[in-house]
Amino acid sequence: MDHLGPNHFLSLPRPDSLSSTASNVPDTTTLAAHDFDVDTRTGFLPPQAPISRLPATLECWEVVLEDAIASKLQLGEKPDLSDGEKKKSEEWRERVRKLPILSIDELKNSEIALRRAHQVLGWIMHFYIHSMPPSEAICIPPPITLPLLQVSAQLQLPPVLTYSDDVLYNWRLDSENPEELPTIAALRRCQISFTSTTDEAEFYLVPARMELAGVEALELMRSTMDEMFVGDEIAVRRITGYLRELADVIQRLRELLLSVREGCDPHRFYNDIRPWFRGEDSQAGRKWVFEGIEQDPNLVAPKELSGASAGQSTLIHALDVFLGVNQTSKLLKRMQTYMPRHHRAFLAHLANNPRPLRDLVFTAATSDNGQTKDGAALLDAYNGAVMALKEFRDAHMIIVTLYVIGPARHAQKALQESGQPIPTASDYVQQAPNDDTIGKDQEGLKGTGGTDLVQFLKGVRDQTKEAVIKI
């Protein structure tokens, strides 16, 4: 934490979130709610490289994670695992079970150390679960259960790898200078990965670069909101300009998204990388049992755990909220609970804007019993930004087809030919039980063509398009 200024809110002593009503504890939560942990230069990414080591007393977590990476643990579901690989993986899991149960008290004063602990413990847990043979029950041992659940409670995050663990706080710079800000060009290395491949690193770095490109969008949102406060004719003209710029930024986000094809091979991604960060809800009903949870009466067993997804990127949700796109998918909403709480607060702040952009556009475009020139230009700029977001989602569907649906069909065909059981659609999309958008029909969920995933993404894309204002 040394590199953050002493007045940065993340440097202040943090209250124990489980006992924040104590009168002698400084309440920094209000302060945090004002700051939102959004940097004017780096947006939702932290301005300085995340720490890469926990305090010395927790070193054994770092070491056991390093071991997993160095020994190239394989997915337990791989059909062609050698006896040596199986043994190596069982021995590593044995080491995890024998770890001491360590206290997290030392971390409680540092948001940044807590983040690293969530990341390291989450990564160990995913290695543990997904290196197991698929026939075994999933029991997470107490040395992981207790600190992971305690750290997660402090951060108000679910005890599972999230987008913040694998993207927001998972990069490093080549520079020796800890003050150096990340740039799109400089983001070339991640901190932790399952496979140590450049494909996996690119899968994390592409969205990180998008977060940086999105800083301009956040700035445009802020300027727009300032102008909306004024609300006169000049403000309308300025907002028109900002919305045109916003459409360009979204267009750049689209190009960056498509650039994932340059560094990440779709079949390697689908077969070797993606299975590692599956959550409990993509495990065909295999429950995750958190052993030892009863040892801490403050802990509660999580109800549902989805794997990490860029769907948890606050930036994309912020674009929806700002433009007034009415997203009704419960899955999309649920993804917000996987975001850092300050970023969730940022979304809530945007959503509670007393002067919604759409209202202004509608009023300006319909005033004077007809379209004024300025009103018509604003309407055009607004619709342009909405359509840019729709085109971003079209591009995202191309990526999902290339990286998930295509390889899934390929794998399914190979399985059919080999006579083995066919996977369910839960392999393709994180399920939200009773979600309004996906898989109402359980038969549909059992389909193997990824149709539910397509329906979900199409639904979100179509709702974006519906935000276009027609007068």
User: Which sign, positive or negative, has the C-alpha torsion 115, 92, 304, 149?
Assistant: negative
Closest distance of CB 71 from ligand HEM, Å:
26
Asked if 400 is part of the footprint of ligand HEM (rule: CB under 6 A), the reply reads yes
Structure tokens at 214: 């999105």
- Exactly one of 117, 168, 206, 357 binds ligand HEM (CB under 6 A); which one? 206
Structure tokens at 247: 């459409």
Sequence letter at residue 304: E
- Exactly one of 115, 130, 342, 396 binds ligand HEM (CB under 6 A); which one? 396
Closest distance of CB 108 from ligand HEM, Å:
31
On whether the CB atoms of residues 126 and 166 are closer than 8 A, the answer is: no
Task: Phi first, then psi: give them for residue 439, nearest 5 degrees.
Answer: 45, 45
Helical (H) or strand (E) element with 341: helix 341-351
Please identify, using beta-carbon distances, which residue of 28 and 430 lies nearer to ligand HEM.
430
Q: Which stretch binds ligand HEM (CB under 6 A): 18-26, 28-36, 357-365, 453-461?
A: 453-461
Asked if 110 is part of the footprint of ligand HEM (rule: CB under 6 A), the reply reads no
The footprint of ligand HEM on residues 16-35 (CB under 6 A) is none
User: For the window 407-446, what string marks contact with ligand HEM as x by the rule CB under 6 A?
Assistant: ----------------------xx----------------
Asked if 158 is part of the footprint of ligand HEM (rule: CB under 6 A), the reply reads no
Closest distance of CB 453 from ligand HEM, Å:
6
First to last CA, the chain: 53
The footprint of ligand HEM on residues 225-264 (CB under 6 A) is 257, 260
Sequence letter at residue 208: A
Asked if 383 is part of the footprint of ligand HEM (rule: CB under 6 A), the reply reads no
Q: How far apart are CA 341 and CA 343, in angstroms?
A: 5
Q: Which stretch binds ligand HEM (CB under 6 A): 303-311, 360-368, 371-379, 413-421?
A: 303-311
Closest distance of CB 104 from ligand HEM, Å:
28
Task: List, as one string, the DSSP characters of 227-260.
Answer: HHHH-SHHHHHHHHHHHHHHHHHHHHHHHHHHTH
Asked if 316 is part of the footprint of ligand HEM (rule: CB under 6 A), the reply reads yes
Task: Phi first, then psi: give them for residue 162, nearest 5 degrees.
Answer: -120, 175
Asked if 393 is part of the footprint of ligand HEM (rule: CB under 6 A), the reply reads yes
- Exactly one of 49, 310, 378, 425 binds ligand HEM (CB under 6 A); which one? 310
- In 3D space, the residue among 444, 409, 377, 345 whose CA is nearest the CA of residue 37 turns out to be 345
Please identify, using beta-carbon distances, which residue of 218 and 239 lies nearer to ligand HEM.
218
Please identify, using beta-carbon distances, which residue of 114 and 260 lies nearer to ligand HEM.
260
Asked if 389 is part of the footprint of ligand HEM (rule: CB under 6 A), the reply reads no
Burial 137-158 (b: 16+ CB within 10 A, else e): ebbbbbbbbbbbbbbbbbbebb
Closest distance of CB 195 from ligand HEM, Å:
14
On whether the CB atoms of residues 325 and 389 are closer than 8 A, the answer is: yes
* Helix (H), strand (E) counts: the chain: 19, 4
Q: Which stretch binds ligand HEM (CB under 6 A): 89-97, 222-230, 311-319, 367-375?
A: 311-319
Please identify, using beta-carbon distances, which residue of 236 and 347 lies nearer to ligand HEM.
347
396 in a labelled binding site: yes
Asked if 64 is part of the footprint of ligand HEM (rule: CB under 6 A), the reply reads no
36 Rama sector, left if φ>0, alpha if ψ -120 to 50, beta otherwise: left
Q: Which stretch binds ligand HEM (CB under 6 A): 80-88, 101-109, 309-317, 355-363?
A: 309-317
- By 3-state DSSP, what share of the chain in percent is helix, strand and coil, each rounded to 5? 60, 5, 40
Place of tokens 């020994």: 71
Q: What are the binding residues?
A: 396
Would you tell me which residues interact with ligand HEM (CB under 6 A)?
A: 203, 206-207, 210, 257, 260, 309-311, 313, 316, 332, 393, 396, 399-400, 403-404, 429-430, 453, 457, 460
